[in-house]
Amino acid sequence: MAPLVYLCVRPQVDAADGEYASFLNATGLDESGLERWSLADEPLPADAFTRWRGFVAGGSPFNTTEPDAAKSPSQRQIEAALTTIARAAAAGETTALFTCFGIGVATHALGGEVSLDYPEGTGPTGIHLTDAGREDALFGVLPDTFTALTAHKEGTARLPEGAVLLATNDACPVQAYRVGTSLYATQFHPEPTAVAFTERMTIYRNHGYFEASEYDAVAARVLAADLDEPQRLLRTFAEQF
């Protein structure tokens, strides 16, 4: 069986290393079962859809709402690759789970709308399943309400046509959706433990997600949170797909 692949969309190597380790831990796979490909460094390979049986995409400091002229060549390469995968997964040609930055790319690629109207601060937040989420093959393993980690400056304002809303909250109403049966996208981060997330916070301390002087207080909230449920999502994804 072909492996899954973690797509790195972060230019910061230390953050990408930590994120890959978190995805390995959460999925329960080893490096032969979940390979790694850095879209920040290399374009999507021509044989991507035969080399890998499915894709998981991590987060990024990039924002899809930036004007195209302001985007770096690396960001444009990343967005082009994720767009190709999102459209293929939506058509049932592969399987993909996009997280955080990835949900913005998928939303834009499939005709939805992304805006700066739904940011969430760094730390734990409550997520609520919709009726469709409770019945979903993947999200149905989760309780009706669970805690997950967020840190983003933009969010989905309008779902792509045909998308099914799976999870929500008041601050950012689109927390997760599915298109077809093979494309999933989450606004929250399902992969990190609390410790791993605080380590990532040190790397992005001065990127505007939180006040640098408030690091200790934010980290304390993260470390006190129960984050077991989001990781169950990834383990189930790896088992089902």
CATH number at 113 reads 3.40.50.880
**Segments forming the whole domain that contains residue 166:** 4-191+227-240
Q: What is the pLDDT of residue 175?
A: 98
pLDDT on residue 241 = 87
Classify residue 5 as exposed, middle or buried by CB count within 10 Å of its CB (0-12, 13-18, 19+). Answer: buried
Q: pLDDT tens, 195-226?
A: 999 999 999 999 999 999 999 999 999 999 99
Whether residue 102 is contained in a domain is answered as yes
Question: Is 181 part of a structural domain of the chain?
Answer: yes
Cα distances (Å, whole numbers) of residue 71 to 41, 75, 175: 15, 6, 25
What pLDDT score was predicted for residue 121?
94
**Considering the entire predicted model, what is its pTM?**
0.96
Domain annotation covers residue 72: yes
CA 24 – CA 42 distance, rounded (Å): 21
What is the structure's pLDDT at 34?
98
Does pLDDT of 1 surpass 90? no
Write down the mean pLDDT value for the chain. Answer: 97
Task: Decide if 93 is inside a domain.
Answer: yes
In a domain, 40, yes or no: yes
Confidence of residue 90 (pLDDT cuts 50, 70, 90): very high
Number of domains, the chain: 1
Please compute the mean of the pLDDT values over residues 87-100 and round it to a whole number. 98
Give residue-wise pLDDT tens across range 114-171: 999 999 999 999 999 999 999 999 999 999 999 999 999 999 999 999 999 999 999 9
**Has residue 204 been placed in a domain?**
no
Q: What is the pLDDT of residue 26?
A: 97
Which residue, among 151, 66, 150, has the nearest Cα to 105 in the 3D structure? Answer: 66
Q: What is the tens place of the pLDDT at every residue in 6-25?
A: 999 999 999 999 999 999 99
Residue 201 in domain:
no
